[in-house]
Amino acid sequence: DTNVNELAALFPISLQAVSKHIKVLQAAGVVAQRHEGRHRPVSLRASAVTGAVDWLDQRRRRLEARYERLDEVLADLQGTA
């Protein structure tokens, strides 16, 4: 957990811009923000990130398979040239 001020200190953008980004991420279900008195800690929802990582991993495996096939085709073409 962290707060908006700590996050804003990490990036070269304004506090308002960080707050807007957090609202977008919260609407997407990637982060959660709760009220604790005057503090509003923000936390990452690991389950949302895990889904994105799984999706990207599937795409990566497909691309690797396609590149391997392309390498084979190019090697065949070079052998016949």
pLDDT at 25: 93
pTM to 2 decimal places:
0.61
pLDDT at 81: 61
Write the pLDDT tens digit of every residue in 49-75: 888 899 999 999 999 999 999 999 999
What b/e readout covers 50-71, taking b as 16+ CB neighbours within 10 angstroms?
eeeeeeeeeeeeeeeeeeeeee
Instruction: Return the number of other C-beta atoms located less than 10 Å from residue 79's C-beta.
Output: 7
Q: Which two tokens stand for residue 1?
A: 């957990």
The residue extents of the domains of the chain are 1-44, 46-81
Note whether 46 and 54 are within 8 A (CB): no
Which residues, 6 or more positions from 7, have their beta carbon under 8 angstroms from its beta carbon?
A: 18, 22, 42
* CATH number of this structure's domain 1-44: 1.10.10.10
Q: By percentage, how much of the chain surpasses pLDDT 90?
A: 63
Q: What is the mean pLDDT of the chain?
A: 91
